[in-house]
Structure 1
Amino acid sequence: MKVLVLGLPRTGTQSLADGLVQLGISPIYHMREVARNKHQALWIEAIDAKFEDVGVPWTREDFERVLENFEGVADYPAAIFPAELVSAYPEASIILSVRPEDKWCESMESTLVHLQKKRAPGDTTSMSVLSGKYHHHCWGDDFAATGREFFRKNNQLVRHLGKERKFLEWQPQDGWAPLCSFLGVDAPPEGTPFPRSDDWVEYKKMVERENTATENAESA
């Protein structure tokens, strides 16, 4: 394991993951790898062990069942376990991806939180169960009330974990330069744009259309 990206979702984690790949750190374990590798049940097991005292908290041996072929992690569900991953992989550098708190909340509300609210009651598909677990344990199923506090606490924890490790705090507008310096690698050719990856683009457009329709109906 080379790099642990321990910022929360919607802080540029997908773009950062793709940027790391371009810099030769590959593959990176991102949320999109969960369904692709059918890892839902394993992450549910890890969450249950951490938050519900079901089973034993994960160590490196357990994480390796999921991550053994990866050189880095970014985004949920891995970033639910910052302290555990830092302990399990002492050789890995730490990156905390951040963005302004208001922007983060807006982005979360129009993506992960919005989708969770739309899930049908009693949906027992594996991705729905996994999503329900972290929405419950991270912000108590009430993002509006506790999301900001969770954001602050997570960032504070990761900064603390990074005090005795190779550590970088990074935000998307920082681009290549600090990342390449931190990793000790050559920058891409001049003019190479930093990835702007977002699997949620179409979903956010749908949410915007829904909000516009609601506003128009209310003003009619």
Structure 2
Amino acid sequence: MKVLVLGLPRTGTQSLADALTHIGFGPVYHMREVGRNNHQALWIEAIEDKFEGKGRPWGREEFERILAGYEGVADYPPAIFPEELMAAYPEAAVILTVRDEDSWMASMESTLWHLYQSRPADDPSPMNQLSRKYHEHCWGGDLPKYGKEAFRKHNELVREAAKGRKFLEFGVGQGWEKLCEFLGVEVPEGVKWPRSDDWVDYKKMVDKERKEKEGRDKRI
């Protein structure tokens, strides 16, 4: 393992994962990999072991059941386990992706939180069950009320746990120069920073729904 990207979702983790892969620090395990590899049950097990005491805390042996062959991690579910991953992979550099908390909250509410609320609790799909686990344990099942506090606490936890490590706090939009300097590699010539976001179409749909609702409310 070479790089642990431990910022929360919606802080540029997907673009950063793609950027890391482009400069030779891949493959990177991102949320996209969960469904592709049918890893939902393993991550639910990890969450239950951490928060519900159903098993022992995870170390390198347990994480390697999921992460073997990857050179980096980013986004959820890995970011739920910052201290555990840093302990399991002491050789890895640590990157904390950060963002203004108001814009982070707006982005979360129009993506992960909206999807979570739109699905019935008894939906048996593995991804829905994983989603319910992390929403429950990361902000008590109430992102609007507890999300910003959880965001701040998470970032401080990573900063504290990463003391003495090769560490970078990376803001959205800082681009190739900052990242490549940190990792000691050349900036790729003529390559634009990736603008990856699997949620683009979903956010457009949510925004359309919101505008339609506002229009109906005005007519009432």
Q: TM-score, normalised by structure 2?
A: 0.98
- What is the aligned partner in structure 1 of residue 206 from structure 2? 207
Determine if the alignment matches structure 1 residue 129 to structure 2 residue 166: no
Q: Which residue of 2 aligns with 1:6?
A: 6
Q: Deviations over 1:52-92 (max 9, x none)?
A: 00011111000000001100000000110000000000000
- Equivalent residue runs for 1:1-220 within 5 Å: 1-189=1-189, 191-220=190-219
Q: CA deviation at 1:172?
A: 2.0
For residues 122-178 of structure 1, give each alpha carbon's deviation from its aligned partner in whole angstroms, at most 9, with x where no partner exists.
112111110000000000011111000000000001111121100000012100011
SS of 1:168 mapped into structure 2: strand
Cα offsets for 1:22-55 (capped at 9, x unmatched) = 1111100000000100101100000000000001
SS at match of 1:46: helix
Q: Matched residue of 2:4: which SS? A: strand
Alpha-carbon displacement from aligned partner over 1:105-138 (angstroms, at most 9, x marks no partner): 0000000000000002311211111000000000
Distance 1:75 1:153 in 2: 16
Q: Match of 1:163, SS?
A: coil
Structure-2 separation of matches of 1:54 and 1:131: 18
The one-letter code matched in structure 1 to 2:128 is S
| One-letter amino acid of the counterpart of residue 208, structure 2 | R
Amino acid at match of 2:194: P
- Give the distance between the partners of 1:110 and 1:200, measured in 2 at CA: 9
**What are structure 1's unaligned runs of at least 5 residues?**
none
Q: Structure 2: which amino acid aligns with 1:17? A: A
The number of equivalent residue pairs is 219
1:4 aligned counterpart, secondary structure: strand
Which segments of 5 or more consecutive residues in structure 2 lack a partner in the other structure?
none
What is the TM-score with the length of structure 1 in the denominator? 0.98
Aligned-residue Cα RMSD (Å) equals: 0.6
Distance (whole Å) between structure 2 residues aligned to residue 142 and residue 11 of structure 1? 19
Runs of 4+ residues over 6 Å off in structure 1: none
| SS of equivalent to 2:163 | helix
3-state SS of 2:168 partner: strand
Distance between the aligned counterparts of 1:116 and 1:134, measured in 2? 10
Take 2:188 and 2:13, find their aligned partners in 1: how far apart are those partners?
19
**Amino acid corresponding to residue 209 of structure 1 in structure 2:** K
